[in-house]
A and B are shown apart, each in its own frame.
Chain A
């Protein structure tokens, strides 16, 4: 019993660690895509943010400055995306691919130019990192069975950005469904003509959607390089931006289901690591690659409409050109 509880706590913690950047990126993608802009550059923006966070925290020994730098840099990238897709009516997928590739190259080029360590940044000091926070009374309560263990073993002991990611979900829900801006954001993704007719700027709304998107990917990047790890490593986003995109689609472009999808994908990852080389009775050795591929397979199956239907915002991917 006790062992099972420890196992569950460990797996749950691993799930949360993996899911945090996914949740931040999924919320980011939601703001962009709900406004009608396809964003496959979550990956690139997160990578760029991770690099900036590590570089600035290393230079200043301040985690918060690193976080700020990551947010700013990812916002700049989002604005570049907006400049291409909103101002110049460029192809949104092409622009996203360009950003991903640009960041995949530029982070290493800049890393070598600044630090001469083959594309890595030097290790960030503890002051420059987001370290685990112990919630009040966590120590004292750890001996209380079940509830105490749950509180001190699972709820407490994560870093600030983890809590921020889980706060981002209700915040996103509130902004998208309960504010005037959110209503307009959703409207501009469904029918920009109607929004334009009402005298609201389609371009400015979409730019704001992208700004929020950029900021959140910046936080996700900072999580990778100065919270989960202590330096930037080349390609450290490792496809998580795409998984977050899949999770957002899996959650049908809605905040809470998207978060649940991120948690599910995180759990799959945690299980995959645990099952490495384990022989399950009756089945034999479970191929780890199968579990790792499951998020992608599930997303394809969902998109194909075999388990419910995931419908994108109606105006997504279409540049808005005013009629004359």
Chain B
């Protein structure tokens, strides 16, 4: 890898073009795989696009998946900004759902929804945050590697949930490990119901009002990272810890704050799934969302706006992939998992593979024209 002193690439190439090139490579490889198993990639793209965006039911499912990906993507992103890898979104989402479930099992008939909703937001956030706080504490104060501890906590969460669902919270007199259904009045309104208040009719999908909370979280996290003192401190610790310490930042406290927020955001998946969609506690409602959050954050370059775009793309992949499974018998949900893996590989691990080529091409093109004054920064290397 040559990082010899070259002209720095202008920002639009670094932030805009390179990520797009990476995703295009990932999708091209996915297309090759589809071609290799004997289906037509172009047909597949058309079916996916139509299945995800072509009619109101498809759009509803796409946005419902997007809601979960925004939460887990933001969770991974805030940890990344602090230089941490939170691989435990899966477990934090699981426990966040447990928080909502316990809250609703206790209070679903006692309180009106406008009190229950803030309570449940708090419960999912706090439970998720608590599940992230232990690995965060161990990283900050005991020096244990957060990647390993969060992986372990995913498995511990899963064992805990199986125990609770099978032995404690199961609805009496049934075989499958699910709790009782919460009272009707505690259900979050589906978007189809919201539209119905305004006299519009759309197909019923799992999409519910949690999507507004997801968008709010994006804005709030953006403000936190770039407009508050604590956000500045998290970025300082992530970029250069010694310098941050020199500047008076306590990295231990910063790690705790960032992971607490990260876990809370992942926990909101529980809000969407348990209070919004299933209306009861069950196993594996969080399956895969935590890991997809890693792909989403990498693709969105850890910026809330990028994360919304990446979440939308993954929502399209999930929903379109489900439609594709109907149309092309050789393609199943696992194709989407494969694409996800390729996206993480090319826009995460191999993120800078294309940079030398891009900068070569850019330097050839830029040398031909007079250098525009704003595209080259003032470092004076030209």
Measuring CB to CB, which residues of chain A are less than 8 angstroms from any residue of chain B? 38, 40, 80, 83-85, 87-95, 97-106, 108-110, 112-113, 116, 119, 234, 239, 242, 245-246, 249, 287, 289-290, 292-293, 296-297, 299-300, 303-305, 312, 321, 324
CB distance from B144 to the nearest CB of A (A): 4
Q: Smallest CB-CB separation from A296: which chain B residue?
A: B152
Chain B residue contacts of A293, Cβ below 8 A: 155-156, 159-160
Chain B residue contacts of A38, Cβ below 8 A: 147
Tell whether A289 pairs with B163 under 8 Å between CB atoms, given A90-B350, A95-B348: yes
Chain A residue contacts of B138, Cβ below 8 A: 300, 303-304
17 contacts between A and B (CB under 8 A): A83-B350, A84-B345, A91-B85, A92-B349, A93-B147, A94-B348, A97-B344, A101-B295, A105-B336, A106-B341, A113-B36, A113-B38, A293-B160, A296-B156, A296-B159, A304-B138, A304-B142
Tell whether A90 pairs with B348 under 8 Å between CB atoms, given A287-B167, A303-B148, A305-B144: yes
The answer to whether B38 touches A93, judged by C-beta atoms less than 8 angstroms apart, is no
The answer to whether B142 touches A93, judged by C-beta atoms less than 8 angstroms apart, is no
CB distance from B31 to the nearest CB of A (A): 13
In the bound complex, CA of A101 to CA of B166 (Å): 29
CB distance from B140 to the nearest CB of A (A): 12
Interfacial residues of chain B within 310-345, with CB under 8 A of chain A in the complex: 330-332, 334-342, 344-345
The one of B87, B152, B156, B339 in contact with A93, judged by C-beta atoms closer than 8 angstroms, is B87
Chain B residue contacts of A91, Cβ below 8 A: 85, 348-349
Q: Does B358 contact A (CB under 8 A)?
A: no
Q: Does B294 contact A (CB under 8 A)?
A: yes
Kindly list the 4 A-B residue pairs having the minimum CB-CB distance in the complex, ordered from nearest: A102-B341, A105-B337, A105-B338, A95-B349
Given contacts A90-B349, A95-B345, A105-B340, 16 further A-B pairs with CB under 8 A are A90-B350, A92-B349, A94-B344, A94-B348, A97-B294, A105-B341, A112-B332, A112-B334, A289-B162, A293-B155, A296-B153, A300-B149, A303-B138, A304-B138, A305-B144, A312-B145
Q: Smallest CB-CB separation from B3: which chain A residue?
A: A321
The answer to whether A109 touches B332, judged by C-beta atoms less than 8 angstroms apart, is yes
Q: Smallest CB-CB separation from A92: which chain B residue?
A: B349
The one of A98, A234, A239 in contact with B348, judged by C-beta atoms closer than 8 angstroms, is A98
The answer to whether B155 touches A101, judged by C-beta atoms less than 8 angstroms apart, is no
Q: Does B298 contact A (CB under 8 A)?
A: yes
CB distance from B293 to the nearest CB of A (A): 11
Q: Smallest CB-CB separation from A291: which chain B residue?
A: B159
Measuring CB to CB, which residues of chain B are less than 8 angstroms from any residue of chain A? 1, 3-4, 33, 36-38, 85, 87, 134, 138, 142-145, 147-149, 151-153, 155-156, 159-160, 162-163, 166-167, 291, 294-295, 298, 330-332, 334-342, 344-345, 348-353
Chain A residue contacts of B3, Cβ below 8 A: 321
Tell whether A98 pairs with B345 under 8 Å between CB atoms, given A90-B351, A110-B37, A290-B159: yes
Q: Smallest CB-CB separation from B291: which chain A residue?
A: A101
The answer to whether A109 touches B33, judged by C-beta atoms less than 8 angstroms apart, is yes
In the bound complex, CA of A80 to CA of B36 (Å): 20
**Which of B166, B298, B332 is most buried by chain A, counting CB atoms within 10 A of its CB?**
B332
In the bound complex, CA of A211 to CA of B85 (Å): 26
Q: Smallest CB-CB separation from A310: which chain B residue?
A: B144
The one of A98, A119, A287 in contact with B163, judged by C-beta atoms closer than 8 angstroms, is A287
Q: Smallest CB-CB separation from B355: which chain A residue?
A: A88
Chain A residue contacts of B85, Cβ below 8 A: 91, 93-94
The answer to whether A303 touches B159, judged by C-beta atoms less than 8 angstroms apart, is no
Q: Smallest CB-CB separation from B162: which chain A residue?
A: A289
CB distance from A84 to the nearest CB of B (A): 4
Chain B residue contacts of A89, Cβ below 8 A: 1, 352
In the bound complex, CA of A101 to CA of B344 (Å): 9
The one of B148, B156, B330, B340 in contact with A101, judged by C-beta atoms closer than 8 angstroms, is B340
The answer to whether B298 touches A304, judged by C-beta atoms less than 8 angstroms apart, is no
In the bound complex, CA of A324 to CA of B38 (Å): 49
Chain A residue contacts of B334, Cβ below 8 A: 104-106, 108-109, 112, 119, 234
Q: Smallest CB-CB separation from B159: which chain A residue?
A: A293
The one of A84, A289, A296 in contact with B349, judged by C-beta atoms closer than 8 angstroms, is A84
The answer to whether A99 touches B341, judged by C-beta atoms less than 8 angstroms apart, is yes
In the bound complex, CA of A246 to CA of B163 (Å): 22
In the bound complex, CA of A249 to CA of B167 (Å): 32
The answer to whether B294 touches A113, judged by C-beta atoms less than 8 angstroms apart, is no
In the bound complex, CA of A170 to CA of B340 (Å): 39
Tell whether A108 pairs with B344 under 8 Å between CB atoms, given A94-B349, A289-B162: no
CB distance from A190 to the nearest CB of B (A): 16
The answer to whether A289 touches B338, judged by C-beta atoms less than 8 angstroms apart, is no
The answer to whether A246 touches B148, judged by C-beta atoms less than 8 angstroms apart, is yes
Q: Smallest CB-CB separation from A287: which chain B residue?
A: B163
Q: Smallest CB-CB separation from A94: which chain B residue?
A: B348
CB distance from A109 to the nearest CB of B (A): 5
The one of B38, B87, B155, B344 in contact with A296, judged by C-beta atoms closer than 8 angstroms, is B155
CB distance from B145 to the nearest CB of A (A): 7
The one of B142, B145, B160 in contact with A289, judged by C-beta atoms closer than 8 angstroms, is B160
The one of A40, A98, A324 in contact with B147, judged by C-beta atoms closer than 8 angstroms, is A40
In the bound complex, CA of A92 to CA of B348 (Å): 10
CB distance from A245 to the nearest CB of B (A): 7
In the bound complex, CA of A72 to CA of B178 (Å): 44
